[in-house]
Structure 1
Amino acid sequence: MAQPPAYNRTKDFATDYPDQTDNQAINNELDGVSLSVNGIRKNLALIQRDDGGLRNNIVTKDALSPELTDELYAEFSGNINDAVLQAQQAAVEADNSAQSAANDAASAAAAKTDAQAAANGAQASAAEASVSQVAAAASSNSASSFATAAAASASASAGSQTAAANSASAAAGSASVAQGSASNSLASATAAETSATTASNQATAAASSASAAAGSATAAGNSATAAGASAGLAQDWAIKTSGPVSGGEFSAKYYATLAAAAQKWATRGVGELVLIWDHLAGADVPPTNNPDFRYIKLTASSSYNSGVLTSESVAGSAPLLTATAIISLAGSPMNGSLVYLINTERRAVRAGASGDIQDDAFQRFALRARRGSGAVGLSADAMGSSDGSLSVGISSAGYYVETTANVVFDAPSGGASVRTAVETRMRNIGASFYMRVK
């Protein structure tokens, strides 16, 4: 809506006599005030909600200064770059953790090997202790045999009692020594068994440590993989332009590129014509899904105009086709206007009063014959005529006379080829007109 009219008082009531009241002037002044106030209220309702806040979709990117747009883009790009750097740092730390876990696993494997060697040594010691125990038992049995023999000798020969007693005493000492040896062997076997148990426990603990280290290495690898994926996703959110990043959401660079591409179409004026060779692949055509602007293609039955044009009409036959439609687009200042679909009509645009329509025409001319003696005739082969021959009489009143014959400009019989058609035109190539309507 245009700006409401300013209120300017037109009547000075102080000039009236005290007993006079200019009711019509009062009405005029109040009407002027009403028009201005109502216009202000109507314009205010376009931008302000009932709760006092701005209406939705009032502030668009076109309302933002280029400096603010650049600052927002720089801030978003900085945040995304920070996220990428953090993801890359996380990937490095995860890789370091994986390397540390691998080193721990190697150390645990070495500890397990050492523990296994200790267990093997303990088992060998236990085997040696068992052999010693068997030898001690044999010595004990031998000593007992000696004691029995000595006792028999004492009973058989009293004379040998002292010697037998000494022999028995020596045998008892030997038995005591053998018993001590057996005890020491048993203690050695017990210690060896304890050592073997400890070594086995250490080996089990080392195996558990190795398993835990392997799990830590796997977790670190998974963390590194996840960090890499996170870094890749962050990069997609920053610069991917080949398609959406997630669902229907696109990257910051995609939206920035889209905004830059749309800017050139948003800067053209409503009613401005744009000529495009849209038959070429990759031609840049105004988008139809931008809420800030809308163009129409001045071609009948074009899907580009879906939901924007109504009451399309194509009448007549070439070259005098008449193709029109009604603009039907809420929010367009041209809503309800008649528009000529000049791409279908193949109508040329020329300078003059805007919207002034003209059909093709040929400038009127007169065919004359030079004065001479006798009658002068024009050959139908020379000029061509829908009436047959073209004869011109000579008038004594002047040097030239006009003919009323219908002249057709075409090639004479047997002459060179001449290009003819149902319209007069210059050499040309077609292109499509588009027009901004919102």
Structure 2
Amino acid sequence: MPRAFTQNARPALRRLPTRPSRMVQAMVSRLLPLLFRSQGLELSHRDAADGLAKAFAAQQSGRCNLLIAFRHPSTRDPVVLADLFWNRVPRAARRLNLPLARPIQLRFLYDRGIPIWAGPVIGWLLQRSGGIAIHRGRLDRPALSQARAALAQGRYPLVVAPEGATNNLSGEMAPLEPGVAQLAFWAAEDLEKAGDERQLEVLPVGIHYSWRKHNWGVLDVRLKALERHLGIASATGSSGTPETDRRDRLIQIGMNLLSALEQLERLKPNQEQTFSERIEAYRLQGLAKAEAHFGLRAVGNLQERCRRIEQAAWDRIYREGVDQIPPLERSLADWEAREADLQLTRMRLVEHFTSVSGHYISDRPDFDRFAEMLLLVEEAIGWIEDKPWRGQPSLGAQRVELRLGQALPVRPRLSQYRSNRREAMQLFMQDLEQVLVAVMPEAPL
């Protein structure tokens, strides 16, 4: 995600209420095709629109409640899904002669930090499109209660991203966070307590981006620009084939970037370690330094640790009554805010490489994976240098493919949840991960 620089302490973040507006939704739904046309983005929904039309018809007729869990590889996902739900699904419903009693409206969870880096206009649109803002780094009871109530009441499908954040890789999924399973089981319990016999289903939606034209020449130009910037002698033609040549060049660029990250963290590289081992050591070192700054314990998985660091940074940047404190105290608060922003950026760099293992291109050396890794490297360099990397020339227009996975019923799992909650949630997340992997284009349907 883009970086929002902090120079001073700011007033405390206020809760953003959900203020859905059909007029705003109608306006946005009309503008989306124009936006995609201007960007050259081609949408392919295969059978997803038809399957969702049937699911929404069942939901609106009171036969089931829906929780939609989508893959989250890009910051474009919200507008892509909005077009799917608001434009493609209603057209599919009409074509299939399915009764939709009312326009499709949704409730969805989004990170409270998005309006900080994306701007107040985006925050305003998220509120009026049915968004529920949630602080990811703490137990945000009001947001969770609102999402739970929406899912149990069933009038509006609830949409969540189980990965929690974008990983910028369409062909590899980040570890799933357990919040989606917890919300599903909470809502299923609420339905049962109320004597409500409606089914509760989790619908997985896969999202995959690719380039419409595989312009290897452009990719080579941008590889060359990175090599010049990093002071690397180009190894063009040294490996025998264009495929292995580009792979070796990108690996060399990645190793140089990793060396810079290790230097940033004062981490002495171990040349006997593999790339995967070194990137993991960097991740752990970066998180440990940020946690030490904020006095946090190093517990949980990488995502949980990132969320706690994010919240600790926000607590020092956004403060109650900051405009009423004495000048010296205000100066100290500004100092703490700047230091917190630095630690937040350290965490963002670690998070940026959450899914980088060193095998992404070797496992499938196609243009799309090369291009995605190239963009990851360029963005990381831009963050380190405090200025966006302007990669030129353009890699070209993209296509996005949406697929609908097999629905996961929740209520049949309730007895297992009551006997062993942790095990039931783990099994549910494993099943959800399998279905999301199955709808990736590399996997056969």
Alignment TM-score > 0.5, same fold: no
TM-score bracket, normalised by the shorter chain, equals under 0.3
Identify the structure with bigger relative contact order (alpha carbons < 8 Å, sequence gap 6+). 2
Q: Which has the larger radius of gyration?
A: 1
